[in-house]
Amino acid sequence: MECGYHLCHQPDPAQQHRDRLLPGLRSPGRQPLRGVPGVPLWGHHEPRLRWRRQPGRHGSHHLPLPGSPDLHGPRRSLRCGLGRPRQPHQPGLADSLGLPSGGTQQLRSEAQHGAVYGDLRRHPALHAQCAGSGQPDHPGRPRLISRARAVGVKVLTAPLILSAPGRWVEGGGVLVSDGCIVRVLATGDEARVAAREHRAELQEFPDTVLTPGLVNAHAHLELSFLVGRLGQGLPFRAWVDELMAARGAGTPEERSRALGTAAQRMLQTGTTLVGDIATWRGAEEVLAGRGPARVCYREVLDGGDGKRAPAALEAVASPMPPAPDRFEGLSPHAPYSTSRDLLEGAANLARERSLPLAIHWAETEEEERWMSRGRGPLRGLVRNSPRCSPLEHLEQAGLLGPKLALIHGNHPRSGDRERVAASGASLVHCPGSHLWFRRQPFRIDAWLASGVNLALGTDSLASNADLSMLREMALLRGAHPQLSPECVWGLATVGGARALDLEGQAGVLSPGARADICAWPRSGLSADAWLDSVTNGDRSPSALWLGGKDHHSAQEVQA
Ligand SMILES: [Zn+2]
Q: Please report, rounded to a whole number, the percentage of residues in the chain having pLDDT higher than 90.
A: 63
What is the mean pLDDT of the segment spanning 190-197? 96
Q: Kindly give, in sequence order, each residue whose CB lies less than 8 Å from that of residue 215, ignoring residues fewer than 6 positions away.
A: 271, 272, 273, 274, 275, 455, 469, 492, 493, 495, 496, 497, 499, 500, 506, 507
Q: Note the pLDDT of residue 375.
A: 87
Give the residue with greater pLDDT, 72 vs 395. Answer: 395
The one-letter amino acid code at 37 reads P
- Distance between Cα 281 and ligand 1 center (Å): 18
- Distance between Cα 534 and ligand 1 center (Å): 25
- Distance between Cα 218 and ligand 1 center (Å): 6
- Distance between Cα 501 and ligand 1 center (Å): 18
The one-letter amino acid code at 279 reads T
Residue 545 pLDDT exceeds 70: yes
Q: Do domains 2-68+79-212+514-558 and 214-499 have the same CATH topology?
A: no
For 38, which DSSP code? -
**Banded model confidence at residue 549, pLDDT cuts 50, 70, 90:** confident
- Distance between Cα 466 and ligand 1 center (Å): 14
Q: Kindly give, in sequence order, each residue whose CB lies less than 8 Å from that of residue 302, ignoring residues fewer than 6 positions away.
A: 308, 309, 312, 337, 338, 339, 341, 342
- Distance between Cα 496 and ligand 1 center (Å): 15
Q: Note the pLDDT of residue 361.
A: 98
**Banded model confidence at residue 247, pLDDT cuts 50, 70, 90:** confident
pLDDT 10s digits, 410-432 = 999 999 999 999 999 999 999 99
| Architecture of the structural domain at 2-68+79-212+514-558 | Roll (2.30)
Q: Note the pLDDT of residue 378.
A: 86
Which residues lie near ion ligand 1 (Cβ < 5 Å)? 459
- Distance between Cα 130 and ligand 1 center (Å): 45
Q: Please report, rounded to a whole number, the percentage of residues in the chain having pLDDT higher than 70.
A: 71
What is the mean pLDDT of the segment spanning 271-300? 95
The ranges assigned to domains in the chain are 2-68+79-212+514-558, 214-499
For 409, which DSSP code? -
Residue 263 pLDDT exceeds 90: yes
Q: Note the pLDDT of residue 4.
A: 27
Extract the runs of DSSP E, i.e. beta strands, from 350-488. 357-361, 404-408, 426-429, 453-456
CA distances (Å), origin 287, targets 89, 156, 371, 521, 544: 37, 28, 36, 28, 18
Q: Note the pLDDT of residue 47.
A: 32
What span, in angstroms and rounded, lies between the C-alpha atoms of 50 and 190?
A: 17
- Distance between Cα 430 and ligand 1 center (Å): 9
Q: Note the pLDDT of residue 249.
A: 83
pLDDT 10s digits, 498-537 = 999 999 999 999 999 999 999 999 999 999 999 999 999 9
**Banded model confidence at residue 111, pLDDT cuts 50, 70, 90:** very low
Spell out the CATH class of 214-499: alpha beta
